[in-house]
Amino acid sequence: MMQENRNDKISTRNEFDNTVMEVNVLSQNHFHNIIKRSILLVILLAICSIIFMFSNQNSEKSDSTSDKIIYRVLDIITKNNDLSQQEYDELYMSVKILVRKTAHFTIYTLLGLFLMLVLNTININLKERILISWMIGIIYAIGDEIHQYFIPGRTPMMTDVIIDSIGVLCGILIVYFTSKILYIRKRKYDFPNI
């Protein structure tokens, strides 16, 4: 009888210790999740600030910023080609469109990527995370174009909203597929016979 009572106390003590350890692990995970979310939010806000900063440039400053890249690309393309001024001007306009639209796509891909990463730190289902990330990205793209309406020499363009929205979706999909691949690799590592 005394032995049973002693075993019950040991068993209860072990259960208590296990519970305390589980609470400590959960607390540590919660703390790490808060830190991770905070860092991701800072990066996300930095991306939003960069988008705002570029949108806030008047047309002259915006063209000057783009021209630095455009002329480098043109130097590479036209290195061994003798182009007439008209051909050069046409090539300039084509490269300008390509550079500016690629910039839109790229920065909004980063926006979508970090929106999804931030929402991955919140306990909501995958479909909701994807939908919320995409909706926030689209709303930000629309707001960005509306903002440009009030900047001298800039005009809002629906094509930019579409390019930005596709960029956001690509960022979301990068996170989604990367997570899937990492999950599959982890399962194979944890369970090598699968």
pLDDT band at 88 (very low <50, low <70, confident <90, very high): confident
Percent of the chain exceeding pLDDT 70 equals: 82
Asked if pLDDT for residue 171 goes beyond 50, the answer is: yes
Q: Give, to the nearest 10 degrees, the angle between helix 85-119 and helix 59-77.
A: 110
Distance, CA of 64 to CA of 132 (rounded, Å): 35
Whether this prediction's pTM lies above 0.85 is answered by: no
Query: Do 103 and 70 meet the contact criterion of CB atoms below 8 Å apart?
Result: no
Please answer whether residues 187 and 194 qualify as being in contact, where contact means their C-beta atoms are separated by less than 8 angstroms. Answer: yes
- Helix, strand, coil distribution of the chain in percent, nearest 5: 85, 0, 15
Question: Is the pLDDT reported for residue 116 higher than 60?
Answer: yes
Q: What whole-number distance in Å separates Cα of residue 73 and Cα of residue 93?
A: 12
What does the pLDDT read at residue 119?
A: 96
pLDDT band at 80 (very low <50, low <70, confident <90, very high): confident
Helix (H) or strand (E) holding 101: helix 85-119
